[in-house]
Amino acid sequence: MFGYRVPAPDQAMLISGGRYGMKGAPFRVVTGHGAFVLPFFRKVRYLTLAMRESEVTEQCVTRQGITLTVRAVIAFKVGNDEESIVNAGQRFLSDQDQMATLTGRIFAGHLRSIIGSMTVEEIVTERQKLATEVLDGSKFEMVKIGLSVDSLQIQSIDDMNSGYIDAMAAPHRAAIQREAKIAQAQATQQAAQAQQESDRKQAEYARQTAVVQAQYKAEVDKAQAESAQVGPLAQAQAQMSVLSAQTDLAHRQAELRQRQLIAEVVKPAEAEAEKVRVLAEADAQRTRVLAAAAASNNRVALDRMLIEQLPQIVREAAAGLSGANVSVLNGTDGLSEIAAGLVGQGLTILDSVKKSLSGQGPTSFPEATALEPPEPPAQ
């Protein structure tokens, strides 16, 4: 936009031409944001806030009167507050490179002053103390011109070939060399001891190796001798094992063959014999049943024939009485008794024949015989 200005992040925008700003300042300070600048009536300038560097190489005389060349580097910048920016702007806005030159001169003066109050030993061994005292001595002047120091580094100290620093360092160097020689001697001694220990260990290792090899050879020879001695015994044991295995195999084969014969011969034969036995028993039972049935039929037929012959038997008995001289005294009752006696005698004969036949099985019927006449009743 026309008339609107924005400073860079590491710049301070100084606007002059108005009556605003810090009291007594001839310009307005703007940082971190933009501002509208009225053309022709206002003027804008920029002051850098970036880090800058100044080198100082100064010859200084110590408290001992020894001249030293000291080289230092100062890192500084314009302060961030408005007062520092105003102070620096008033002094360096036209020629901002003068900040490094002026800073170097300020530090050179303070460096000579501080070194003049110290010995070479203090300067060499306490560089940080030297830098701190120089910073503290220049701080007020730097703030006054709007600058702030971030760091001061003493880079080198030279005695201009006077040999003082070398002489000062000689005892330390000698001590260091002595310590180095001692350390070297100790290291050499330790190396020799280590070598001796290594040689001893190697010799011990070689001895132990020889012992182990000898023991191993002795064990091998012993094992071979024992193997040679137990060879026949082991062979016999192996043969016995083979024979035992063959015997077990033969037993198993015999058992298998026995089971096979039982399955193929004995079991079928037993089954056939059982079949014959069962058939024989069945046939015998059949014969007994048929015989019993036949005997039963014969007895029925015999009883029937005997019954049919009973009248004939009675007639024959009666015929025997027809020629007999029998006196009947009691009339009709007497005749009845004689007839009853004949019938009773016929029944007795029939019963005897049945008993005889029941014990002998079926036989031919006996021929009829004459019956004795019954005795006449007593008069």
Is 69 domain-assigned? yes
Same domain, 32 and 132: no
Hey, what are 292's tokens? 């019993």
Residue 9 structural domain: 1-50
Same domain, 110 and 120: yes
Is 77 domain-assigned? yes
Interaxial angle between packed helices 127-144 and 98-115, expressed in degrees from 0 to 180 and rounded to the nearest 10: 130
Is 117 domain-assigned? yes
Alpha carbons 19 and 250: distance in angstroms, whole number: 135
Alpha carbons 306 and 312: distance in angstroms, whole number: 10
- Work out how many domains the chain is built from and give that number: 3
pLDDT computed for residue 108 by the predictor: 92
Is 40 domain-assigned? yes
Same domain, 111 and 72: yes
Mean of the per-residue pLDDT values of the chain: 79
Pick from 50, 66, 84: which residue ends a domain?
50
pTM of the model: 0.44
Q: Which of 190-194, 367-371, 372-376 has the highest mean pLDDT?
A: 190-194
pLDDT computed for residue 298 by the predictor: 62
pLDDT computed for residue 365 by the predictor: 42
Q: Quickly state the pLDDT bin for 377 (edges 50, 70, 90).
A: very low
pLDDT digits (tens, 9 = 90+) for 52-86: 999 999 999 999 888 999 999 999 999 988 889 99
Of 310 and 73, the one with more pLDDT: 73
pLDDT digits (tens, 9 = 90+) for 93-110: 889 999 999 999 999 999
pLDDT digits (tens, 9 = 90+) for 250-278: 888 888 888 887 888 788 888 788 878 87
pLDDT at 369 over 60: no
Same domain, 127 and 211: no
Residue 96, domain CATH: 3.30.479.30
Is 157 domain-assigned? yes
Is 282 domain-assigned? no
Plot region of 364 (φ>0 → left; ψ -120 to 50 → alpha; else → beta):
beta
pLDDT computed for residue 206 by the predictor: 87
Same domain, 118 and 19: no
Q: Which of 16-20, 302-306, 336-340 has the highest mean pLDDT?
A: 16-20
pLDDT computed for residue 159 by the predictor: 86
Is 128 domain-assigned? yes
Same domain, 89 and 154: yes
Same domain, 133 and 218: no
Least confident of 135-139, 251-255, 338-342: 338-342
pLDDT digits (tens, 9 = 90+) for 179-219: 888 888 888 888 888 888 888 888 888 888 888 888 888 88
pLDDT computed for residue 104 by the predictor: 92
Same domain, 88 and 103: yes
Radius of gyration from C-alpha coordinates of the chain? 82
pLDDT digits (tens, 9 = 90+) for 156-182: 998 888 888 888 777 877 888 888 888
pLDDT computed for residue 319 by the predictor: 62
Same domain, 111 and 137: yes
pLDDT at 346 over 80: no
Is 342 domain-assigned? no
Same domain, 119 and 61: yes
CA nearest neighbour of 129 among 267, 179, 121, 48:
121
pLDDT computed for residue 342 by the predictor: 58
Same domain, 153 and 187: no
Same domain, 222 and 194: yes
Let me know if 125 is exposed, middle or buried by CB neighbors in 10 A (0-12, 13-18, 19+): exposed
